[in-house]
Amino acid sequence: MSEIPPLDSLVRLLPLTTISDARGDLGVAEVKQLCGFSAERFYFLYGGLGARGGHAHRRLRQLMISLAGQVEITVDSGREKKTYILDSRKNGLEINPVVWRDIVLSPDAVLGVLASEPYDESEYIRDYETFRDVVSLHN
């Protein structure tokens, strides 16, 4: 069995492009170029009232961008944990498969998520013990 990859190789904070002129700002995420996957789906979380996430994905790759407010994302590789505060439209958080995440949005937050695949409940891992088993099988 090989080692669990470092968390920093599974989750990366990536700079987005901002184009500003007299009319305002324009943010760009060239998803394929930046993350190496094509976005099949866009969804967004808002109306933050409580903790979200609490799962990992078997296959899904994502790029998360805080479009408004503040979003706290704690990621866990099964060996290392790290909390990112997303409060800028200038960065996106890339999350690769088999990373557990817990997400807290401020009430005014809007979190945009670009996802590599259509929604498929069967590729979610919603139980932490199962996640630990998948991590050890995967590595």
Active site residues: 55
- Answer yes or no whether residue 58 interacts with ligand TYD by CB under 6 A: no
Closest CA to 37 of 63, 18, 12, 55: 63
Tell the smallest beta-carbon distance from residue 20 to ligand TYD (Å): 31
CB 131 within 8 A of CB 78: yes
Distance between CA atoms of residues 72 and 105, nearest Å: 6
* Residue 60, H or E segment: none
Please identify which residue in the block is written with the tokens 């088993």. 133
Q: How far is the CB of 71 from ligand TYD (least distance, A)?
A: 11
Q: Is 43 in the site for ligand TYD (CB under 6 A)?
A: yes
Q: Does 119 bind ligand TYD (CB under 6 A)?
A: yes
Which of 45, 67, 104, 110: binder of ligand TYD (CB under 6 A)? 45
Residues that bind ligand TYD (CB under 6 A): 41, 43, 45, 52-53, 55, 119
